[in-house]
Chains A and B, each alone.
Chain A
């Protein structure tokens, strides 16, 4: 096999690994952006954060939010907002750091954080 073809196949293998690793990273982020309280579960996203911020601006102390099951869950707005906001930044900052590390990795073993011997 010519060197050029070998290099092309190696690069294809790297791209497949990189794409899957990025999808795995997204899955991890998605999984961490979930928060359960008072018997309900919420996905932490910008909509939830904005709505909580609005409730705070409207000086609401308690509110009923619909969770991912569309069940009504009563929450204490300030503490809920603080918690979801802090989790959001914690998770997205980690996501950013890991994403940047992946983006700069140009070999399969670097994508996986292994040395060249695969250890």
Chain B
């Protein structure tokens, strides 16, 4: 494991499951980060199986030029077997797979940087907007406001943990500095994760799935003195698509043509050109399908 220098950097978590190559997504996003944010300090937390697979499929040289700090951790096998969710590759294909997201709360401890942006691997960096975070007065920022890029589509279940509950923050992008407050926040996230049943009873989120969005939202509520929306938002809106959408093509390193599912006609799509704004693409298979094109665009000098 190489140690990156301190300063400013990005951290992502990439643990493959039986179908989805998260490490490949991390490599694609790392090239996009280098291109648009101009940042070389990129840490990816993974496990040995995901890394071995990536070395075979992508090659060590590609991985090394994308990521300068790889942290290999042991997988919690019990969690992996228990946290199962349905992943969709559009409404036409749904698969039940392991959702390994248990260690995002360790981001504070694992990050070698003074200032860190924690990213989901499927939050594609297509602009330099996140550079606005560096040196910010706020020591911890994340979004509760989001915008679906299919503007007609509304999903009120994504606004709160339950209908009468606290506001849901998105753990997709989190900016933090190494400060006692940020450290306490991440300790609080760990505490919620370790006492999931208690906090699920108290905050009443639906289903049995552990999501970081829930634990980060609850920690935000606790760390704000039990006030809603107490943690400031990032200076950028979180734009997202859903796993029922698809990617048509990657035109260049900042432009994609998307298939967006029509709200009143499931399985039927409209096209949208998305350019120059970061985007959360929930359909992981779709990113993997365009990953070769995206890699060649992002690597081009």
Interface positions of A (Cβ within 8 A of B): 13, 16-17, 19-21, 23-24, 27-28, 30-32, 34-36, 39-41, 68-69, 71, 73, 108, 111-114, 118-119
Contacts and interface: CB of A to CB of B under 8 A. Distances in A.
B257 interface: yes
A71 B139 CA distance: 13
Q: Name, among A16, A20, A68, the residue most crowded by chain B CB atoms within 10 Å (CB to CB).
A: A20
Which 4 residue pairs across A and B have the least CB separation, nearest first?
A: A39-B137, A36-B132, A41-B235, A23-B151
B150 interface: yes
Contacts, number: 72
A20 B237 contact: no
Given A13-B270, A32-B276, A39-B135, 7 more contacts: A19-B151, A20-B270, A24-B149, A27-B237, A36-B133, A36-B235, A71-B138
Given A34-B132, A39-B135, A24 B271 contact: no
Contacts of B271: 17, 108, 112
A28 B272 contact: no
Contacts of A40: 136-137
Contacts of A30: 237
Contacts of A112: 257, 271-273
A10 to B, nearest CB: 12
A41 B270 contact: no
B147 A41 contact: no
Contact of A27 (B136, B273, B277): B277
Nearest to B234: A41
Given A34-B132, A34-B235, A113-B273, A20 B151 contact: yes
B129 A34 contact: yes
Nearest to A31: B277
B160 interface: no
Contact of B127 (A31, A69, A73): A31
A113 B137 CA distance: 41
B272 A27 contact: no
Contacts of A20: 149-152, 260, 270, 272
Q: Name, among A19, A24, A39, A71, the residue most crowded by chain B CB atoms within 10 Å (CB to CB).
A: A24
Nearest to B236: A31
A28 B270 CA distance: 19
Interface in B269-301: 270-277
A39 B135 CA distance: 5
Contacts of A41: 132, 136, 235
Nearest to A119: B249
B275 A21 contact: no
B213 to A, nearest CB: 22
A92 B23 CA distance: 38
Contacts of A16: 152, 262, 270
Given A34-B129, A40-B137, A114-B257, A69 B232 contact: yes
A35 B151 CA distance: 25
B248 interface: yes
